[in-house]
Amino acid sequence: MNAVPMLTSRRPRESTSIRVSVATRDTLARVASAQGLSLSAYMEKQARHAERELILADYRACANEAYQDPEFVAEMREWDEMDDGIDLVDGVEG
């Protein structure tokens, strides 16, 4: 049985090990190295990225649902048509 290396962070916090194939570990290590990161730092970066993607996907789903509601769309139109000196299209005050 092959020993699985423990992925640890240089920051003081708890760590654990995960089982992946040697080929997967080596691929991740090459990618991490090419980015100037340790394998642990690369995995943390990827985990944060994946979490952000989930949050954004949830936001997009909520926004899509909101724009199916005629009342919501009407209210957004009212806000867009206000002459408040703010152009929401490009963020520049008019």
For the chain, the distance separating the N- and C-terminal CA atoms, rounded to the nearest angstrom, is: 68
Select the more confidently predicted residue: 24 or 87.
24
pLDDT in tens, 30-75: 999 999 999 999 999 999 999 999 999 999 999 999 999 999 999 9
Select the more confidently predicted residue: 84 or 12.
84
Cα–Cα separations (whole angstroms), residue 63 to 41, 56, 58, 73, 91: 33, 10, 9, 11, 20
pLDDT at residue 2 in the model: 45
Q: What is the band of 79 on the pLDDT scale with cuts at 50, 70, 90?
A: confident
* 76/82 Cα distance (integer angstroms): 10
Percent of the chain with pLDDT over 70: 76
